[in-house]
Structure 1
Amino acid sequence: MDAKAKINQFYQLLCRNGRPGRLGKTFKTENNYYFLDTGTGKVMQVEEITFKVLQALIESENVEGLFELGLTPEELDCSISEIEKVIKEEHILSAYEVKTLIGDAVVNDLHETLTNSVENVTFEVTEKCNLRCKYCVYNPSHPENRGFGYKDMTWDTAKKSIDFLKEHSKDAKHVHIGFYGGEPLLNFKLIKKVVLYALELFNHNVGFGMTTNATLIDKEIACFLIKHHFDLIVSLDGPQELHDKNRITINGEGSFDKTVQGSKMLLEAQKNMKREPEISFNMVISGPNYENDYTKIQEFIESEEWLPKNVMVLTSAVDSGPKESPYFLPQSKEERKLYGSIYEPLEEWEIAYKKEKGETCKTLFSDSVFDKNMMVIHKRLLSDTPVKNYGMNGCCVPGQRRIYVTVDGDFRLCERVGLIPSIGNIDEGFNIEIIERLYTRDFIEEAQKYCKECWAINLCTLCYVNCYDEVKTHFAYRHNSCRSERSYLENSLIRYHMIMEHDPESLSQYNERELT
């Protein structure tokens, strides 16, 4: 058999369970070349020539890509032989075909899970808000505009929801109640009543959380929230210049001073009660000068003495809502062209900032943002041989991890999913038929069409967000999210292995931590 025939035969072997582009991902750091195998999760360090061959195998439309590398026949033959040997010894490039997706909603008895293992109820305690943040989903300018509402949740709806959680959480490992809006503190009277009732009903074995703009916090509210161990996310977009650009009152005035005042009251109450830090800050950046804004945030965190030194900061760009986009095969020429348009400003800022500051660079707020990405890589699925089953990405069991209860008592998956089909209501309970059809069978049938072609299928953290319109699955909303996820994961692989090259011991911090 001549060399070309041998290579063609090898390529056909790789194609036995689908296109090679789904079998793995090549990536490199400044010092080394790597290959991630889809089926096993193994990451292998390879030589440059082998890297080029692997890259051509998984990114080319056909075997001809190998012959366009400019390698001598001997180099190509040697590299193919080396890859064949590793395939036999390490079982790489052998991922099984994706025929379906599995998850707890499929494997476990859904009815049993939703009857006894519900963990969280998050209340939309009010539709009202005292701010008119320019990028808010409720604004008429937002593509998913819901409109600013004027309803408050009633005690009857709230009590039924707490009773429902109690009745359906017998086997739950932990139970949690969250408060959302609008601005939830506009209905603090109800929040207080819910907390006191829930503590009595659950014999104090319940946790609480809230997302708030903090502008309404006074000493009474601060003490109540800290006393009852609320996990708090305060919406503060960095320094006044950035915050007041978007987070304005109904009268068009900036809200920075009030948000800071409320945050200080929370921190003071926390200090007085000697409680562990339970407050984090969510900073939304609207651009267009992202990298400049991130520098301002970092300087703000370092200079403001009232902020704790170990403060947790979450940051994100403005969510512009679901948008349809075309689908391109992962690692295809079409997708690689689009990769150039995927802008990841936080990572680019961090690289430039560390380079500028050198050894004087302190801990950055971005560290906590990238922490989850490192966890995904560190805790990835690892197997000696390719796995035979593939999971439903980051999808939870609908209604089990969280129920988002609207002011009217309607059940939604969570507060992040937008206008998608309901999963029940407080009077009739879960609509198991809808959950099984829309959020398991229909989702799996649609998702596996795309997931079966993706090298990141065992790393992906995407859930139901951007997968539905108001009545059914609508994956044209999701394709951009998938491309961004693959880009994030590739960058996370690079970041993780750069750390492994220079400071492997620091990765041990993830051993005992759970990926949530």
Structure 2
Amino acid sequence: MGIKLNVIEHNLHQVQVDAEQMLFHIPTSSLFAQDELTSSILGALRAGADSRDHVQSALAGRFAVADIDEALQDLLALQIVGDGSPLSSDVLPGGVTKTALNTVVLNVNTGCNLSCTYCYKEDLDKPSAGKRMAAETAIASVEMLLEQSPDEERYSVVFFGGEPLSNRPLIEYMVDYCEKRFAEVGKQVDFIMTTNATMLTEEIVDYLNRHRFGLSISMDGPKAIHDKNRITVSGQGTYEVVRRKAEMLLSRYDSRPVGARVTLTRGTTEVEEIWDHLINDLGFAEVGFAPVTSGDISSFNLTPEELVTLFANFKALGRRYLQAALQGVNIGFSNLHQLLTDIHEGHKKSLPCGAGLKMLAVDHKGDLNLCHRFTGSSLPTFGNVHGEVDNASLTQFLSDRLDRSNTGCQTCRIRNLCSGGCYHESYARYGDPQHPNYHYCDLLRDWVDFGIEVYARIMSSNPDFITRHIVPRKVH
């Protein structure tokens, strides 16, 4: 009878796209068009065939024996079919032993000139009380990056706040320092900043343009939506000033595309309306949506019903993305674009993001935080740039997150695209940054299925879109 065979169901997911069946290989996040022979083998095994001989007998007369054997070998190699041999793990064996830092986030000022009602920053201060990072701390942060990961080819320095432009002198000092310092060691450096735009002037925009900053503008959409939460310290809406500043920026900035970052809170699910305003009325290159589901102030969290509506609206905008992509046009829907990038490149995320592994955030005191969302929180830090990086605690934290035992993540079909979700969201919702974000698993699984369908349709009808708009995304 031979070796017993079985389908490893948690390693594959099948998605029907019109007449074609797609097979999503979960361990590698790779997508294949499933041919008739593969479908027949999987069907036979699921129907009770449990050996090579049984499969060949079930498919006799339809396929050549040699073709069946070759296809079975491929499925065994992919661990879609098992023969009793131990399965390789999706995650790093032995955990994380070394980080590969290439990004440092400098929290240059805790002060902000706005008072956005939903802000997650636990160390946020009013402008007069802002704690500014000293140049010595910023320099030590960059040197820490080079010392920890001297072999990286390219590094990123991110300026964050509060409102980072409220400490403009430090930004300009560090740009000058970094351009000289990284050139000395033959490395490249990128500068990144998220800003509320209110402090932008033509002079500042031209400066940022000369140094090719990657810019993201926090803006929530049309006036009625934006002014609900993005207000001044005195409680006034900021839409009019942000719109004027954004239009000035977009008319002058040509070194890199500028994106808008939208925060979606309770009562706000109008994805298409927001996208249309930011892309077509204002001219942003892309729009990324950040739904609030685990904020410290629960009244801002989207309700379960609103989350269902939100993902339905994501799919509605996604269908517009698809129609434009079939015509060779990228309409700048970042959430879907990133998902397609992950599918195309076969991203296998053992961890939810680069926090701790490729990126650390430095607060005004020099303490090293998992990411910018944790500065000022009660989560223990991982050393200080004026002392040492606590690599032992950092790698242990990351290794603990790799452990998917006793969680639904272990066999989930999107485990290598989601990896349990955002650390800070888990921390805010469950009090534990290691806890999986279970509250929208089903919605995310459906969203990934939608992404697989969109990707398959683009590859079938206009693969040049992938070549032109997905592959170059990594190029600066």
In the superposition, the TM-score normalised over structure 2's length comes to 0.75
Question: d(CA) in 1 for partners of 2:34 and 2:387?
Answer: 56
Is the Cα–Cα contact under 8 Å of residues 134 and 364 in structure 2 kept in the other structure? yes
- Report the counterpart of residue 461 of structure 2 in structure 1: 502
Deviation at 1:119, TM superposition (A): 2.1
- Report the counterpart of residue 412 of structure 1 in structure 2: 369
Letter in 2 for 1:14: N
Residue in structure 1 matching 2:72, options 71, 76, 87:
87
Is the Cα–Cα contact under 8 Å of residues 110 and 124 in structure 2 kept in the other structure? no
Residue in structure 2 matching 1:266, options 249, 269, 280:
249
Distance 1:103 1:214, change over 3 A: farther
Mapping of 1:8-87 within 5 angstroms?
Answer: 13-14=5-6, 20-38=8-26, 41=30, 43-45=32-34, 86-87=71-72
1:315 correspondence with 2:276: no
Distance 1:459 1:199, change over 3 A: closer
Is the Cα–Cα contact under 8 Å of residues 354 and 361 in structure 1 kept in the other structure? no
- Report the counterpart of residue 54 of structure 2 in structure 1: none
CA offsets 1:93-143 (integer angstroms, 9 cap, x no match): 22653557218973xx62xx6xxx6422211111111112222114xxxxx
Question: d(CA) in 2 for partners of 1:186 and 1:380?
Answer: 40
Is the Cα–Cα contact under 8 Å of residues 24 and 38 in structure 1 kept in the other structure? yes
Letter in 1 for 2:6: L
1:438 correspondence with 2:401: no
- Report the counterpart of residue 330 of structure 1 in structure 2: none
Is the Cα–Cα contact under 8 Å of residues 11 and 27 in structure 2 kept in the other structure? yes
Is the Cα–Cα contact under 8 Å of residues 159 and 171 in structure 2 kept in the other structure? yes
Is the Cα–Cα contact under 8 Å of residues 97 and 452 in structure 1 kept in the other structure? no
- Report the counterpart of residue 6 of structure 1 in structure 2: none
- Report the counterpart of residue 344 of structure 1 in structure 2: 311
CA offsets 1:170-205 (integer angstroms, 9 cap, x no match): 322112211111111122222222222333333484
Question: d(CA) in 2 for partners of 1:248 and 1:322?
Answer: 18
**3-state SS of 1:429 partner:** coil
Question: d(CA) in 2 for partners of 1:455 and 1:415?
Answer: 29
- Report the counterpart of residue 121 of structure 1 in structure 2: 104
Is the Cα–Cα contact under 8 Å of residues 98 and 448 in structure 1 kept in the other structure? no
- Report the counterpart of residue 254 of structure 1 in structure 2: 237
Deviation at 1:493, TM superposition (A): 1.2
Residue in structure 1 matching 2:261, options 243, 258, 282:
282
- Report the counterpart of residue 102 of structure 1 in structure 2: 92
In the superposition, the TM-score normalised over structure 1's length comes to 0.70
Corresponding residue pairs, total = 440
Distance 1:29 1:218, change over 3 A: same
**3-state SS of 1:424 partner:** coil
Residue in structure 1 matching 2:445, options 482, 486, 490:
486
Question: d(CA) in 2 for partners of 1:220 and 1:78?
Answer: 72
Question: d(CA) in 1 for partners of 2:120 and 2:45?
Answer: 43
Is the Cα–Cα contact under 8 Å of residues 417 and 464 in structure 1 kept in the other structure? no
Letter in 2 for 1:345: A
1:371 correspondence with 2:337: yes
Which blocks of at least 5 consecutive residues in structure 1 are unaligned?
Answer: 2-8, 58-62, 67-76, 139-144, 324-337, 382-389
- Report the counterpart of residue 142 of structure 1 in structure 2: none
Choose 488-497 or 465-474, whichever is displaced more: 465-474
Deviation at 1:88, TM superposition (A): 4.6
Residue in structure 1 matching 2:272, options 294, 304, 314:
294
**3-state SS of 2:34 partner:** strand
**3-state SS of 1:344 partner:** helix
Deviation at 1:412, TM superposition (A): 1.3
Is the Cα–Cα contact under 8 Å of residues 39 and 94 in structure 1 kept in the other structure? no
Question: d(CA) in 1 for partners of 2:412 and 2:346?
Answer: 16
**3-state SS of 1:133 partner:** coil
Question: d(CA) in 2 for partners of 1:361 and 1:508?
Answer: 14
Residue in structure 2 matching 1:403, options 349, 352, 360:
360
CA offsets 1:60-104 (integer angstroms, 9 cap, x no match): xxx89x9xxxxxxxxxx669x989864355436226535572189
Is the Cα–Cα contact under 8 Å of residues 237 and 282 in structure 1 kept in the other structure? yes
**3-state SS of 1:189 partner:** helix
Residue in structure 1 matching 2:117, options 94, 110, 134:
134
Is the Cα–Cα contact under 8 Å of residues 346 and 366 in structure 1 kept in the other structure? no
Question: d(CA) in 2 for partners of 1:164 and 1:436?
Answer: 17
- Report the counterpart of residue 224 of structure 1 in structure 2: 207
Letter in 1 for 2:280: E
Question: d(CA) in 2 for partners of 1:208 and 1:290?
Answer: 32
Q: Report percent identity of matched pairs.
A: 22
Is the Cα–Cα contact under 8 Å of residues 340 and 451 in structure 2 kept in the other structure? yes
Distance 1:126 1:258, change over 3 A: same
Question: d(CA) in 1 for partners of 2:388 and 2:156?
Answer: 19
- Report the counterpart of residue 281 of structure 2 in structure 1: 303
- Report the counterpart of residue 172 of structure 2 in structure 1: 192
Deviation at 1:502, TM superposition (A): 2.9
Question: d(CA) in 2 for partners of 1:228 and 1:135?
Answer: 31
Is the Cα–Cα contact under 8 Å of residues 313 and 365 in structure 1 kept in the other structure? no
Distance 1:464 1:55, change over 3 A: farther
Letter in 1 for 2:192: G
Is the Cα–Cα contact under 8 Å of residues 280 and 312 in structure 1 kept in the other structure? yes
Distance 1:488 1:208, change over 3 A: same
Question: d(CA) in 1 for partners of 2:309 and 2:275?
Answer: 23
Distance 1:38 1:370, change over 3 A: closer
**3-state SS of 2:6 partner:** helix
Deviation at 1:416, TM superposition (A): 4.2
Distance 1:118 1:158, change over 3 A: same
